[in-house]
Chains A and B, each alone.
Chain A
């Protein structure tokens, strides 16, 4: 071996000495920790930290007139530390909290089941039973000393002042596995908003948990607060919300919709604030609170009329004739027609040999009258003229232009309402038809001219369209939350969105919609002292047609835009129009005139429930 220019032996000794020195330091450190220093023993024997979460109160909700809608009330969870339980009178326990023996056994097994309860430890408190009523709480509290290992934990649950607006408000429930994985804030047993405002505004409503650092002994018994609580943090309560809903209007709408399927949406056009959003069938939000939650929830989920779905924004329907004003605006903007342009109609569209059919009225008609009478042929002519116009390079190009202007009016994509799960509807473009047809022409797709065929919209989008018309060319993204205490509303809801269609075109369409009320299809909405502008729709589908109506009022200073859809209600004029009349009256006049009481009775007592099979699982 080559002679090295360093002393390997010395280095070996140095390394060994260094390692020994290191271990000596560690052993001395261990000795001081374990033998000399008694502090740590005391820490452990009498003191160990328990970070006890303190739950903030969840933000409450008011309606637009400051009526309290949702608030909190105390509730109690029963917690159990398995290791501390001793033999006890299970029967007495069950009687105290009003459960039967079987349920007790199941719960007992569930707590220990690591599949259901992955964070299980027999040394720490585990949730045993959620949301004890105050009566059971009183009984259990008195006798809790008989059941070692059981504790009561304070929480709050939701309380509702009105049995209305369940879909908008949403509900809260215990955070599930996915919620826990998504956000570290939540621990098992915490509540989280699951739908509606409760979900969308969860981050505002929930507040921030506080922490109380407690000391406990080796057996888990609480011994007091750590350093007199100087490290504790108070919980920060959630932010209160003021909704744009008018709860009386909402309740009135729900009453009118009773025993029917459908939705009513009213928007204040100038702000985009949603005044009411009725989806029928609905349910009383207070049934999804407390111990009866799962039973009631399961019943609602099984109901074949799907009361858990918010039809106002999750239902997709062909818009029918309510689509015609939007069509007219596109044709006017693209210079396809002039307000004076007249098209012929012979109880049907001549080029289609009478298809689509139309009803009897004078011919030819100009735009205002075509809107007032809801002439199908007029809009078929219009669409054909647009698709065949030489100013576009191809039919695809024309179709895409058409689509863009429709999208600008709020169709085809979710509007961005501040509620989760909004559907986007469907506005086809050229590519869409290239995919389904090898060859297509205006005749192939003519039914979209009258809001049938491939076009789908949500009732919310229909309401937004009418708000856009009321504003003569812009809208605010519809929203249900008007104010968040100490926080600004998202800019999305305060900015104006323009459709890019000139306002003079809107005036023509407004005239048509006014004429529809004064002497056309929606004469039923002609209120004596309010200038209502409206448009009916009769959406054909499998089964009886849906009855649709959209309107705004008053004509020159619009205060409200409304859309109504009654599933299988037949013609627009049959149910939707009178319902719209009552809603507008209720909102603008504050009461229903004596002469309209008869209409009110007829509507609210009507039952239109199609025969449905028990709900299939794949329905949303």
Chain B
């Protein structure tokens, strides 16, 4: 069962390890650059942040390689215990953590500060992998799926309570893995529509075309469009054409008429939508296929959602989150307020040009224009000092790592290892997409670290654990 130690080293995926080492070292150098000053302490000095990061890197590497020495089936055996332990830690954190910049996520133990939320990711990945590894496990069995949802939502909710919205959202990454494991694409599609409708409704809020509210109209047309696509995908045939073409025709006619007569297109489109749904309902009664019912449900959900976005935005989101979303959508432009960070980080990155200003020569970051420079906005320093080549290189490095992880996951024979591997790849993808998206101004400001780069012991340790557990599982892929 257990592989000899030498097997571990020869089976270890050295490509991933190399990428890992390059990343942490590059992160270390960039942290030094981000806090660099001409009378700065040396990169090794423990009173500086770079020195501290070096210490954390050493600890992480030692920890990572120790993880390789643990029997791979232990991860399976202890998965639930690890999960339970971290859930307890999260609960404790809520009650004992001091308020640091509005967040209650730091467990302070003397000189060490620990963010339990970072470690909850690998624990959740282990627990889900363990659960899904059961004998004759069926993902879409309602009970199973409910358990998995709970496994994800429990830590997510606890982290939300710590006011760490960013870290909490990362747990949605598990849905990518679930998709790979057979969850219907429709669920992801619905989630996608939710976000899309939300963004359109907000972005076009208040805009009018004639007397038609534009945002509302576009969403209604999109809903119809999605109906057509679904009908063609799931129910090819004459009946579908009888529904789709007249419906499509009505939309085009109504648009054409609206050029000459002023009326609210939304009312007409709602009518067309109602007729279409009626037609589908008739088909459902005639043929009894549940797919028709799903489509009708989708339409109902969309309409209810469309008319409650306002409520969601104004009453569910916190004011600071509203501002962040609005700034990211370009709805408000406020160079000294909420958009300040993003604006400054775009300037810093934009000024880097193709080749960058050279290591330690960045000016924007030095003048302390960019806040959180060595944590959440570390990518700024890369962009400014190393230019497009450096920043693009870092992006490609992440892409290589993620694709490599997917490849490794796919070659696993054990479901446990594959699920865990996909979880790792998904989490990394989300982290990178949200963090870099924020820094280059295409995502709202959600404060989460850039894996392996950002300053912080909890972050680097947690990502190392996440990655090295998978590397250990991978070394035993042949057993």
Contact = CB atoms under 8 A, between A and B. Distances in A.
Contacts of A16: 403, 406
Interface residues of B, number: 47
Interface in B389-434: 391-392, 395-396, 398-399, 402-403, 406, 410, 415, 429, 433
A616 interface: no
A26 interface: yes
B336 A20 contact: no
Contacts of A29: 440, 442
Interface in B323-343: 335-336, 340
B349 A33 contact: yes
Nearest to A44: B351
Contact of A112 (B39, B179, B392): B39
Main secondary structure of the interface of B (DSSP, over half): helix
Given A5-B182, A30-B383, A34-B349, A121 B136 contact: no
Given A16-B403, A26-B437, A51-B336, A40 B388 contact: no
Given A51-B336, A121-B368, A23 B349 contact: no
Contact of A12 (B368, B406, B429, B440): B406
Contacts of A23: 395-396, 398-399
A115 to B, nearest CB: 11
B477 interface: no
B433 to A, nearest CB: 6
B348 A44 contact: yes
B313 interface: no
Nearest to A45: B351
A508 B364 CA distance: 79
A487 interface: no
Interface string A211-225: 101000011100000
Given A19-B429, A22-B433, A35 B364 contact: no
Contacts of B39: 82, 112, 122
Contacts of A4: 182
A82 B37 CA distance: 11
Contact of B347 (A2, A43, A51, A121): A43
Contacts of B403: 16, 19-20
Contacts of A122: 37-39
B369 interface: yes
A122 to B, nearest CB: 5
A12, A33, A121: residue with the most chain B Cβ atoms closer than 10 Å: A33
B440 A15 contact: no
A220 to B, nearest CB: 6
A531 B466 CA distance: 89
B351 A26 contact: no
B179 A11 contact: yes
B353 interface: yes
Interface in B344-399: 344, 346-354, 363-364, 366-369, 383, 387-388, 391-392, 395-396, 398-399
Given A4-B182, A83-B38, A218 B335 contact: no
Interface string B16-51: 000000000000000000000111000000000000
B132 interface: no
A49 interface: yes
A83 B433 CA distance: 37
A19 B346 contact: no
Given A35-B353, A124-B367, A40 B398 contact: no
B368 A30 contact: no
B220 interface: no
B442 A43 contact: no
A6 B363 contact: no
Given A45-B351, A226-B335, 14 more contacts: A12-B406, A26-B440, A30-B391, A30-B440, A33-B349, A33-B350, A34-B349, A49-B335, A49-B369, A51-B336, A122-B37, A123-B366, A213-B335, A231-B335
The 5 closest A-B pairs by CB, nearest first: A40-B350, A44-B351, A218-B363, A34-B388, A23-B399
17 contacts: A5-B182, A16-B403, A26-B395, A29-B440, A29-B442, A30-B388, A30-B395, A33-B346, A33-B440, A34-B350, A37-B350, A43-B350, A44-B347, A49-B340, A122-B37, A213-B336, A218-B364
